[in-house]
């Protein structure tokens, strides 16, 4: 049974000519029906595909603790910690939001946690009653990123206008990343104007993602990052299957085609941008 599931992993793509970083993955999350991720194996498979650095995102308390422990064992990983916007209403309802944020701040003190994220707004999964709490928690994560000097990674689902408004009101951290960028061309231009980084995921390879590719096309190389958001958002032609960092080359090659740049040129830029945002691994 488990052999069949392992055999279900998509085949490895051709390795990238210049190694890049996966800017956002969740090695602790298992999708229904798939076995838990063997982290060492995932790191090796990624490395063999030319994805030699990973940013592991822990976005609830259990996952953030797990992430920080893993950093001491895995030199290929940097970490991010936060309360995901879908987590914050529950903490607030239990009267524990302050307590949970204090623990995130303690975990963020680890020198190889270089990201506060993913934080932001999710109006798709959380109803109107959660909006106030999400916005308040987003502001507090922005403040933490600025106080700790770490990069901010933003989750934005159906909330583009409020994300941009709150970042403007609070003042964005020096290094701000729109994770799994999902805006249109106008939003991409505004993010570039403000100096934010746009991290593209497997969604940019989807057939119906013309608006997203138009947004990518106007983003300068020096503002681009790539990510998997594994185990989600598996790039074409494996959409719907389990995603993993070794599949980044499929997204990079699709990005290079949209941008009309050579793959090694794009890889050089992606690699340099990752180190600029998070510092060296
Ligand atoms: Zn994520």
Calculate Rg over the CA atoms of the chain. Answer: 18
Residue 81 CA to residue 103 CA, distance in Å, equals 10
**259 pLDDT more than 50:** yes
Cα 73 to ligand 1 centre (Å): 22
**157 pLDDT more than 60:** yes
Share of the chain above pLDDT 70, in %: 98
pLDDT in tens, 204-255: 999 999 999 999 999 999 999 999 999 999 999 999 899 999 999 999 999 9
Cα 26 to ligand 1 centre (Å): 7
Cα 158 to ligand 1 centre (Å): 15
Mean pLDDT of all residues in the chain? Answer: 95
Distance of CA 252 to the CA centre of its chain: 15
Cα 93 to ligand 1 centre (Å): 23
pTM for this predicted structure = 0.95
3-state secondary structure of 20: strand
Phi, psi of 179 (to 5 degrees): -75, 145
Q: Report whether 86 contacts 120 (CB < 8 A).
A: no
Cα 25 to ligand 1 centre (Å): 6
**3 pLDDT more than 60:** no
Report residue 185 as tokens. 């061309």
Residue 270 CA to residue 21 CA, distance in Å, equals 7
Cα 24 to ligand 1 centre (Å): 6
Cα 74 to ligand 1 centre (Å): 20
Edge to edge, the sheet with strand 113-122 lists 20-25, 51-58, 77-81, 113-122, 151-157, 176-178, 197-200, 224-226
**Exposure b/e, 46-62, CB count within 10 A at least 16 = b:** bbebbbbbbbbbbbbbe
């Amino acid at each position: 049974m488990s052999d069949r599931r392992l055999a279900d992993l998509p085949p490895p793509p051709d390795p990238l000519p210049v190694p890049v970083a996966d800017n956002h993955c969740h090695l602790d999350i298992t999708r229904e029906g798939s076995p838990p991720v063997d982290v060492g194996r995932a790191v090796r498979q990624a490395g063999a595909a030319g994805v030699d650095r990973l940013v592991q995102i822990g976005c609830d308390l259990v996952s953030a603790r797990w992430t920080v422990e893993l950093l001491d064992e895995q030199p290929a990983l940097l970490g991010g910690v936060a309360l995901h916007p879908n987590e914050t209403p529950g903490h607030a309802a239990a009267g524990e939001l302050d307590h949970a944020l204090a623990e995130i701040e303690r975990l963020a003190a680890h020198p190889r946690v270089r990201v506060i994220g993913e934080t932001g707004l999710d109006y798709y999964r959380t109803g109107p009653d959660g909006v106030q709490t999400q916005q308040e928690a987003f502001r507090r994560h922005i403040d933490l990123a600025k106080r700790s000097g770490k990069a901010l990674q933003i989750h934005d689902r159906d909330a583009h206008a409020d994300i941009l408004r709150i970042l403007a009101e609070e003042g964005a951290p020096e290094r701000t990343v729109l994770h799994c960028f999902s805006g249109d061309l106008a939003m991409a231009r505004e993010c570039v104007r403000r100096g934010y980084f746009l991290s593209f995921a497997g969604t940019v390879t989807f057939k119906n993602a013309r608006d997203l590719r138009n947004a990518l096309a106007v983003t300068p190389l020096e503002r681009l990052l790539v990510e998997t958001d594994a185990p989600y958002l598996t790039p074409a032609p494996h959409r719907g299957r389990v995603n993993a960092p070794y599949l980044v080359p499929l997204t990079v090659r699709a990005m290079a085609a949209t941008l009309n740049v050579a793959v090694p040129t794009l890889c050089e830029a992606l690699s340099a941008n990752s180190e600029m945002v998070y510092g060296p691994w």
